[in-house]
Amino acid sequence: MKKLLTILAVCLLFGGVAYATIPDSGGVIHGCYKVNGDLRVIDFPSQSCAMNETALTWSQTGPQGPPGISGYEIVSNTMNLEVGEQNLQVPCPAGKNATGGGFHLSNAGQNEQVIHSYPGSSSWTVGVNASVAGDTLEVFVVCVVVA
């Protein structure tokens, strides 16, 4: 029993030391790479690479990445169609950019022909040619703030 407790104490002692120093205080992990592909992590500076190994270091956290997008919002507008060609453009709120969009037609394919559906930098536009009045066109745009 005494021998088991001694082994346990030694494991805890060395395990605590390794945990506390890998990565180092700056968050950097140190290792040694062999040509055969072997890699071993070392407790730098108390350990070093052998002559046949190449020293490597890498960060545990890495550098801060670029800012992403925020303010996701879908904006839409609807219009009643008249006979003939017409466009509906839906803008994003000020400061936001369009990243996608689309449309919905009531009775689609029966009385309307979609001429175009395209983005602007901060809007989405859809054009239709309607053969009868009274159907509706809904256009939506996906808007975000791009940092």
Note the pLDDT tens digit of each residue in 101-138.
999 998 765 778 899 999 999 999 999 999 888 889 99
Do 82 and 98 fall within a single domain? yes
Residue 112 lies in a domain: yes
| pTM exceeds 0.85 for this model | no
**CA nearest neighbour of 90 among 122, 65, 61, 68:** 122
Do 52 and 86 fall within a single domain? no
Residue 9 lies in a domain: no
Do 93 and 137 fall within a single domain? yes
For residue 107, the one-letter residue type is: N
Do 83 and 119 fall within a single domain? yes
Total of domains in the chain: 2
Do 77 and 134 fall within a single domain? yes
**CA nearest neighbour of 92 among 139, 147, 141:** 141
> Range of 113's domain?
69-146
